[in-house]
Structure 1
Amino acid sequence: MTTASPQVVLSVAERVPTTRRYLMCEPRHFTVEYVINPWMDPSKPVDTDLAIAQWTALKSVYESLGHTVETIEPVPGLPDMVFSANSGTVIDGRVLGARFRAAQRSAEADHYRRWFLEAGYRDVTMPSRINEAEGDFAWTGSLLLAGTGYRTDPAAHAEAQEVLGVPVVSLQLVDPRYYHLDVALVVLSEATATRPAHIAYYPEAFSAGTQRVLARLFPDAIRATEADAACLGLNAVSDGRNVVIAQESTHLITELQANGYTVLPVDISELRKSGGGPKCCTMELRG
């Protein structure tokens, strides 16, 4: 008989933030004019000015925490370019670009590729398999968690391991509302030499086998509720202590605070009309 590991709850003083560098894209051309996920409804009005205001507030939160925010120029005709997380995965300065499943977003990948080259990155690889970057890839500090089921090809996981030189764990998504890993799981603190990674996730977004994998790898994980997931509460950004999260995710916010995190709720209601939240708008530039 085995006994479950006791949950380790750390105080705020023990949660250590680390300074991050992010890439964002202003939603100057944001609208909902096609449907590529269950959140999108072109018949509902979109307030682009409000989306810009919400994005600007999100950017300001990062900067108030001491993080660096780089920006890429938005391109007319690419309304989802604001979701920068989908266009690159950067670990130790190596860049694996994106290849989108939806034709409507395919042009975004090359704009981001050019940004990386102009910013001085030299180790930039564009994928041969469909790969929606940090939409489906989550770095834990020791493992790259890789989602599949709706967007990223399973074969892209092996490609990511080869290009980025990090071990990859494949996770199967089974709920079309949570079509990307980053709307079903968030890395709250990365692994260190003395402490394992800490995550939060919505179990029902994953297959039964994947749920067992996550329980084995992260026994102390915070398990989000359906209500948390439904407002895109898991599409959050954490620096190890400060968690930027959709303000409607009240249960998850309470759990985060109980686990020693400082929570910064934000309004992403307009951006959510395309199925995006703080993480979708935020690519992390590591190394």
Structure 2
Amino acid sequence: MVIVNQQRVPRKRTYLMCSPERFAVEYAINPWMDVTTPVDTALAVKQWDRLRETLVNLGHTVHLLKPQAGLPDMVYAANGAFVVDGIVYGARFRHEQRAAEAAAHRAFYEEQGWRFIAPNETNEGEGDFAYVSEAHGGLVLAGYGFRTDPAAHAEAQEALGRPVISLHLVDPRFYHLDVALAAIDDTNIVYFPGAFSHASQRVLAQLFPDAVVADDTDALAFGLNLVSDGAHVVLNSEATRLAEKLKAAGYTPVPVELAELKKGGGSVKCCIAELRH
């Protein structure tokens, strides 16, 4: 049962984003990508700029990663690493088309003086890892089934010193954890049960009995691919029903339009990596 009208407290965050000026759908590595559908790059940049400005206006810090030629998916900055307590667990991409993105992310973190741990196992950063900072002393929720290998969950646990809960994704439309689940404050989550195996659904229900539960309409509108500062929830403008659920639970929905970036299989969260000091 969701607690209604609870006072929500925002916390300033630090994010990493990458402009979509080189964004295109040149290959298909998830069910949303269609190489026959043209991308309006100028519109993608405009929508992305509004997302970045939204975060800044909410009081957050946004660092920028320089896009590189030949890497059209770099706009999905969340996939490049997973950062907790100033420790960076690097990505190792499933598909060769994105493999070189990992080095660009590593260079950014090393230049910034972060402690970087190179992965041996295939994982796609915050695409398949979510952090709930006060739940059970700091809990990592980790997805597998399409992009990240289960062995990466154990590797991340050793790298970050936080317990990792493995969750089995079973619907290819929800190929990453971050299109099916998100942390909305330091103790709670929002998720779409249908993206997960029955066993994983039971685990989530046990760990988060007060979770906001989304339906398939908002999940398919990329509504769960969101970021939250604990009070304000920035989410895709098409996910109107989920916005109402979040509002009823005491959060402030902040809708943004990202239609062009949806063509690559991502939305708000895919574009944003959180840098947790």
**RMSD across aligned positions (CA):** 0.7
Q: 2:241 aligns with which of 244, 247, 251?
A: 251
Partner of 2:101: 108
Partner of 2:40: 47
SS in 1 for 2:235: strand
User: CA–CA distance in 1 between the matches of 2:123 and 2:222?
Assistant: 21
Is residue 1 of structure 2 the alignment partner of residue 9 of structure 1?
A: no
SS in 2 for 1:263: strand
Deviation at 1:119, TM superposition (A): 1.2
Deviations, residues 105-126 of structure 1 (Å, cap 9, x unaligned) = 00000011001111121x2011
Is residue 176 of structure 2 the alignment partner of residue 180 of structure 1?
A: yes
User: CA–CA distance in 1 between the matches of 2:237 and 2:76?
Assistant: 19
Partner of 2:144: 148
Deviation at 1:147, TM superposition (A): 0.2
Partner of 2:218: 228
Unaligned runs of 5+ in 1: 1-5, 191-196
SS in 2 for 1:53: helix
Q: 1:160 aligns with which of 153, 156, 160?
A: 156
Q: 2:125 aligns with which of 107, 129, 133?
A: 133
Amino acid at match of 2:267: G
SS in 1 for 2:29: coil
Deviation at 1:9, TM superposition (A): 2.4
Aligned positions, number: 273
Deviation at 1:85, TM superposition (A): 0.3
Deviations, residues 235-283 of structure 1 (Å, cap 9, x unaligned) = 0000000000000101100000001111110001000000011100000
Partner of 1:280: 270
Partner of 1:78: 71
Partner of 1:193: none
Amino acid at match of 2:3: V
- Does the CA-based 8 Å contact 2:10-2:232 persist in structure 1? yes
Is residue 204 of structure 2 the alignment partner of residue 211 of structure 1?
A: no
Unaligned runs of 5+ in 2: none
Q: 1:264 aligns with which of 254, 265, 275?
A: 254
Deviation at 1:232, TM superposition (A): 0.4
Partner of 1:37: 30
Deviation at 1:70, TM superposition (A): 0.2
Amino acid at match of 1:170: S
- Percent identity, aligned pairs only, is 56
User: CA–CA distance in 2 between the matches of 1:34 and 1:92?
Assistant: 35
Deviation at 1:51, TM superposition (A): 0.6
Deviation at 1:77, TM superposition (A): 0.7
Is residue 59 of structure 2 the alignment partner of residue 60 of structure 1?
A: no
User: CA–CA distance in 2 between the matches of 1:100 and 1:110?
Assistant: 11
Runs of 4 or more above 4 Å deviation: none
- Does the CA-based 8 Å contact 2:2-2:212 persist in structure 1? no
TM-score, scaled relative to structure 1: 0.94
User: CA–CA distance in 2 between the matches of 1:9 and 1:49?
Assistant: 40
- Does the CA-based 8 Å contact 2:2-2:249 persist in structure 1? no
TM-score, scaled relative to structure 2: 0.97
SS in 1 for 2:194: helix
SS in 2 for 1:244: strand
User: CA–CA distance in 1 between the matches of 2:70 and 2:40?
Assistant: 16
